[in-house]
Amino acid sequence: MLSCWDMSSNKLHAARELFLQESFGVLSTISVDVPGYPFGSVTPYCVDRECQPIVFISTIAQHTRNILADSRVSLTVLEANNDSDDVQARGRLTILADAKPAAPGDTDVRDRYLRHFPSAIQYDQTHDFMFFRLEPVRARFIGGFGQIFWLTREDLCLKNPFSPQEESRILHHMNQDHAAALEHYAGSASVMTGIDAEGFDVLQGGKKRRFHFDQPVRTMEDARHTLAAMARR
């Protein structure tokens, strides 16, 4: 696959950038109660190590009942930070996917989600919520004039180069030893919650902020150099 910084794949970069910077979408399922009709509900999401959306939903919710009957879903993500009053001028991405329950012992999915949504810890302590991985089939991106196209799973899902242990080490190091650098990036009381090849996520005042790298990182050393360079700006 071409790097998202290659000129021939700038449009893929734009689609993934939108996907990774947002944290909520409309999850549409196939209704059980009104067979054949779509049912949409607003749902938080983060991504797993394969860059697939993860949702954490109640077993008694309508959309969960629908998923358990038919795993075909879509997740529509709308660009939030856009000054235009015209909602159709905002970027949007619709991911067609198969929803699969995460394995009960998949602590990586759990840990990543709860880092991005710490308030969900209270729900994790009950038996009424489940993690689902949305495995993309295709996606449709609309980013403005001339930016309307389909993406394959491979276009959208760029694998995280860091293992859970490596990511944990980076986050701990940045949050414990470089809090001043994070404050420089994102403001006071910022906490880094995730890092991948294309950027990193921060929670600041309970809101997610996404910071994109100028060049992809592939190793711990790449990450160290890139984060240090950003702190000097």
If the chain, 233 residues long, is cut into consecutive pieces of 10 residues, what is the mean pLDDT of each piece?
48 92 97 96 97 96 97 96 74 97 94 96 84 98 84 96 97 93 85 96 92 94 93 81
Q: What is the per-residue pLDDT for 118?
A: 95
Asked if residues 95 and 160 have their Cβ atoms less than 8 Å apart, the reply is: no
Q: What is the per-residue pLDDT for 7?
A: 38
Residue 177: phi and psi, rounded to 5, are: -105, -15
Q: How far apart are CA 153 and CA 7, in angstroms?
A: 20
Q: What is the per-residue pLDDT for 87?
A: 75
Among positive and negative, which fits the CA dihedral 181, 185, 191, 196? negative
Can you give the residue ranges of every domain in the chain? 7-156, 164-231
Q: How far apart are CA 174 and CA 180, in angstroms?
A: 9
Q: What is the per-residue pLDDT for 146?
A: 67
Looking at domain 164-231, its CATH superfamily turns out to be PNP-oxidase-like (3.20.180.10)
CA geometry: angle at 78 spanning 75 and 80, to 5°?
Answer: 140
Q: What is the per-residue pLDDT for 2?
A: 38
- The alpha helices in 75-163, defined as continuous H runs, are 107-116, 121-124, 153-156
Looking at domain 7-156, its CATH superfamily turns out to be Electron Transport, Fmn-binding Protein; Chain A (2.30.110.10)
